Structures are given as structure tokens and as C-alpha cells.
């Protein structure tokens, strides 16, 4: 591969990062933690949703739940969030396996 092409791609990445932040940044490469942070945030949100639904069920069983409708909405949100997480996991694993099958 052409080294000038690699430098051009790196320069474009630096320009995009600088314009997105609104400040000029040095052209030093930044660690690629965006995906990791996105996954951590998603898992944290999923956990909060599941805990909220579990608390709602416990309150319903104890007879202290304010509204059955709210508990059912929490359960449905937790179910949908779990389905999304499962689909994302499947797609990430498929992409990883595809990359591993690539011949270099």
C-alpha cells in the first residue's frame, strides 16, 4: 500500500476529529476507544433497564407497585433492550469472524 495514502487517511481523521471538537488538535493518533466506550455505555444502560424492571416486578409482588401499566412497560422495555443487545452481539461476532476469515 502507498505510504502517502496512509498518511492522507490519518490526516483526514485528524481533521475530522479537530472539526468535531471545535478546536485544533495535534496530529497524534488517539487510541480507538469509541467502540469500547459505546459498548460500556450500552451495557450499563441495559443493566439499568433490567434492574428497573426487576424492581418493578418485586414491588408488584409485594403489593407496593403504584401502577401495573408502568410495570408492564418496564418489562417490555427490558425485553426489547435485551433483544437489541443480543442482536448487536450477534452482528459483532459475525463481523469478527468475517475479519478472521480474510486472507492477508
2 or 75: which carries more pLDDT confidence? 75
pTM here?
0.61
- 75, 57 in Cβ contact below 8 A? yes
pLDDT at 36: 87
Kindly report the CA angle at 104 between 30 and 6, in degrees rounded to 5? 35
Tally Cβ neighbours within 10 Å of residue 33: 9
Q: Where are the domains of the chain?
A: 1-30, 32-104
Residue 21 CA to residue 23 CA, distance in Å, equals 5
For the stretch 39-84, pLDDT in tens is: 899 999 999 999 999 999 999 999 888 889 999 999 999 999 999 9
Amino acid at each position: 500500500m502507498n505510504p502517502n495514502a496512509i498518511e492522507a487517511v490519518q490526516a483526514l481523521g485528524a481533521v475530522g476529529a479537530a472539526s468535531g471538537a471545535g478546536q485544533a488538535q495535534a496530529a497524534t493518533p488517539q487510541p480507538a476507544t469509541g467502540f469500547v466506550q459505546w459498548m460500556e455505555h450500552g451495557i450499563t444502560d441495559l443493566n439499568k433497564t433490567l434492574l428497573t424492571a426487576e424492581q418493578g416486578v418485586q414491588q408488584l409482588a409485594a403489593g407496593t407497585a403504584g401502577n401495573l401499566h408502568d410495570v408492564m412497560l418496564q418489562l417490555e422495555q427490558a425485553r426489547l433492550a435485551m433483544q437489541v443487545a443480543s442482536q448487536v452481539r450477534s452482528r459483532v461476532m459475525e463481523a469478527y469472524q468475517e475479519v478472521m476469515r480474510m486472507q492477508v
